[in-house]
Amino acid sequence: MRKLWITLTYLVFFILIAAPLGKMAANAFSGGFAGFREALSRPEALHALMMTGLVVVVVTLLNTLFGIMLALYLVRAHWLSRRLKGFLNSIVDLPYAVSPVIGGLMIVLLLGPDSALGGVFEQIGLKIVYAFPGMVIATLFVTFPLMVREIMPVLQEIGSQQEEAASTLGAYGWTTFWKVTWPSIRWAVAYGVILTVARSLGEFGAVLVVSGNIMNKTQTATTLVYQDVENFNVTAAGGIALVLAAFSAGLLLLMEWSKRRKEVH
Amino acid sequence: MNSLLRHKGWTWGFRTTILLYFVILIVLPILGVYYNSFSQGFSGFVESISDPIAWKSVLLTLKLAVIATLINVLLGTMIAWVLIRYQFPGKALLNSLVDLPFALPTAVGGLMILLLLGPGSLIGGIAESLGFEIVFHQPAIVIAMVFVTFPFVIRAVQPLLEELDPSEEEAAYTMGASSPRVFREVILPSMAPGMISGGMLAFSRALAEFGAVVLVAGNIPGRTLVSSVFIYGEVESDNPAGAAAVSIILLTLSFLILWLINLAQMRGRRA
């Protein structure tokens, strides 16, 4: 009985995860190493990887900053009523329930060239949808809960006694944060950063809708994979997908490592 | 510096910025979609929805998501059980591999399935000669959904099994219960909350899935066109009202599921 269940588990993992991964790697190298390099050194591939990198950096910075602040407010703020805090708290999870395509659609509807807000921005010469800012906003929307949800439980767990003690002893808010709060939340923040990077690296639906997938302009690595498949250039798609998969696997290892650190702290 | 930062105006400006960012980023877009789909009145919404391609895509998505969720509840419960209860070589590796579908970009997941099962591949060839069609047909969509939602049930059931007190089981055995009966009356009830909440999360994720599905589905209206792909097509063909109408059906459904999960978790915590 026991042997049967273990074999079945191995089988599921093999069919669902190992075999597809192996097949994709084999496919990326089906033209030898030269073919793999060629797929990656196409100008559109280099540009797409650069765009992905830019989006990841900007989104991670903004999401970390605002995520920490918002988590602090939702747990600690006395100037928000309990009811309001509960309400805001339940809103945080909404992006989880929204399909990425719908997330992209929302931003097109709100800020697209036909909308009122989009028109205003267009007049001052700022293009949002089908341009970099829109892609950042879409990815921010999708990654929003990750950071907040990592930090909030830690803040609740450590309680506010130490922080209150620090301010009773005369420390300013800023000092209290760096000397007391930060050391206990930093591993949660690190974990949130890894999650945000992984999610923004792989975001596809929202970015596809918002970016318009314009080659050499707004195309990211994932949307290039999509376009390559649509053009029946499966080998090239496999090359880029393999690079993305390697990054994700690396992030997964980091996650495992920081999870252990987070538990020790 | 500190005295400057402690000025009242600064504090309020800062707080308002954070809260405004939050509201503008999350709330405004969601309201925008609802507003947009009703902008031509309720009849406009009904008209967009009564398009057979639209409602068939919603029904198809629901059907396939239910199948994928059932598969995942079964597989996930089994794997959670094996990973917690048995010691065997490679266990730690499998346990970390569980999260891989979360970490992988969904488009990469779709491509992997396409390559493994697609035309010209070994498995695709065998299935074709047997008269099965996988890729560009409904089975491929279910596989893509199962792949993407794979970790949910496992990660929801694992902690429950870990917490389960072995003495409960032992007591049942001592009193002469057979092992199927112990499983049915002791173990299954303690895993059930995880199976349900993990299953609901998997279901709402499967409803929303786009990246993996768009690559492996044939996207034939009425047969392999799921809602998220339909929405994308409407946006591309410059019909945002039609896209918004289907969107709010999916959104409302997902919000309902999210609310149910929260409710279940709160009741669980109180119990």
Q: Between chains, do B25 and A140 touch, taking CB under 8 Å as contact?
A: yes
A23 and B121: CB-CB below 8 Å? yes
- Using the Cβ of B261 and the Cβ atoms of chain A, whether some distance falls under 8 Å is answered with no
The four Cα atoms A59, A61, A62, A66 give a dihedral, to 10 degrees, of 130
Contact B143, B123 (CB under 8 A): no
**Using one digit for the tens of pLDDT, what is the confidence trace for A178-215?**
888 888 888 889 999 999 999 999 999 999 999 888 88
Predicted structure pTM score? 0.88
**A7-11: long-range contacts (C-beta < 8 A, 24 or more apart)?**
A8/B78, A8/B82, A9/B78, A9/B79, A9/B82, A9/B83, A9/B94, A10/B90, A10/B94
Predicted local confidence at residue A54, as pLDDT: 95
**A80-88 average pLDDT score:** 82
Q: A-B interface: how many C-beta pairs under 8 angstroms?
A: 230
Alpha helices, DSSP H only, in A112-212? 116-123, 132-158, 161-168, 173-176, 182-202, 205-211
pLDDT for res B145:
94
H runs (alpha helix) in chain B: 2-5, 8-22, 28-37, 41-49, 52-85, 91-97, 100-103, 106-117, 122-129, 138-163, 166-174, 179-182, 188-208, 211-216, 227-236, 240-270
Exposure class string for B181-210: b at 16+ Cβ within 10 A, else e:
ebeeebbeebbebbbbbbbbbbbbbbbbbb
Nearest residue, CB atoms, B29 vs list A21, A106, A238? A106
Structure tokens at A189: 């923040």
Q: Which residues of A touch B25 (CB under 8 A)?
A: 137, 140-141, 144
Q: Is the pLDDT of residue A251 over 60?
A: yes
Widest CA span in chain B: 78
- Which of B22, B112, B262 has its CB closest to that of A20? B112
Give every CB contact of residue A87 below 8 A, 6+ residues apart in sequence.
none
How far A141 CA sits from the closest chain B CA (Å)?
Answer: 6
User: Which of A109, A156, A235, A244 is the best substitution to test chain B (most B C-beta atoms within 10 A)?
Assistant: A109
Q: pLDDT tens digits for chain B (271 residues)? A: 455 555 667 778 888 888 888 888 888 888 888 888 887 778 878 888 888 888 999 999 999 999 999 999 999 999 999 999 888 888 888 988 898 998 899 999 999 998 888 877 777 788 878 877 777 888 899 999 999 999 999 999 999 988 888 888 888 888 888 888 888 888 888 888 889 989 998 998 999 899 899 988 878 887 889 999 999 998 888 888 888 888 989 989 888 888 888 787 777 665 5
Contact state of A92 with B26 under an 8 Å Cβ cutoff: yes
Nearest in space to B204 (alpha carbons), one of B254, B262, B247, B250 = B254
* pLDDT for A263: 65
Q: What is the CA radius of gyration of chain B?
A: 23
pLDDT, position B151: 93
Q: How far apart are CA B27 and CA B24, in angstroms?
A: 6
| CA gap A103, A157 in Å, rounded | 32
The shortest C-alpha distance from A113 to chain B (Å) reads 12
Distances (CA, A) of B35 to A2, A160, B31, B38, B249: 56, 41, 6, 5, 13
Q: Is B104 on the interface with A (CB under 8 A)?
A: yes
Are B29 and A141 a contacting pair at CB < 8 A?
yes
Provide the residue count of chain A.
Answer: 265
Instruction: List the one residue out of B37, B144, B32 whose CA is nearest residue A108.
Output: B32
Torsion of CA A78, A84, A88, A90, to 10 degrees: 120
Nearest to residue A94, comparing CAs of A145, A170, A157, A132? A145
Dist. CA A197–CA A215, nearest whole Å:
23
- Provide the pLDDT confidence category of residue A55 given band limits of 50, 70 and 90: very high
Q: Which amino acid is at B95?
A: N
pLDDT of residue B17: 85
What CA–CA distance (Å, rounded) separates A120 from A107? 15
Alpha helices in A212-233 (DSSP H): 221-230
Q: Measured at the alpha carbon of residue A144, what is the angle toward residues A139 and A150, in degrees to the nearest 5?
A: 135
**CA–CA separation, B141 vs B148, rounded Å?**
11
Per CB-CB distance under 8 Å, the chain B contacts of A201 are: 105
**Residue B269: predicted pLDDT:** 62
How high is the pLDDT of residue A174?
Answer: 79
Which residues 155-214 of B have a C-beta within 8 angstroms of A? Answer: 204, 207-211, 214
| ipTM tops 0.90 | no
Q: Is A215 left (phi over 0), alpha (psi -120 to 50) or beta?
A: beta
The share of chain A scoring above pLDDT 90, in percent, equals 34
Q: What is the pLDDT of residue B270?
A: 58
Note whether B262 contacts A: Cβ–Cβ < 8 A: yes
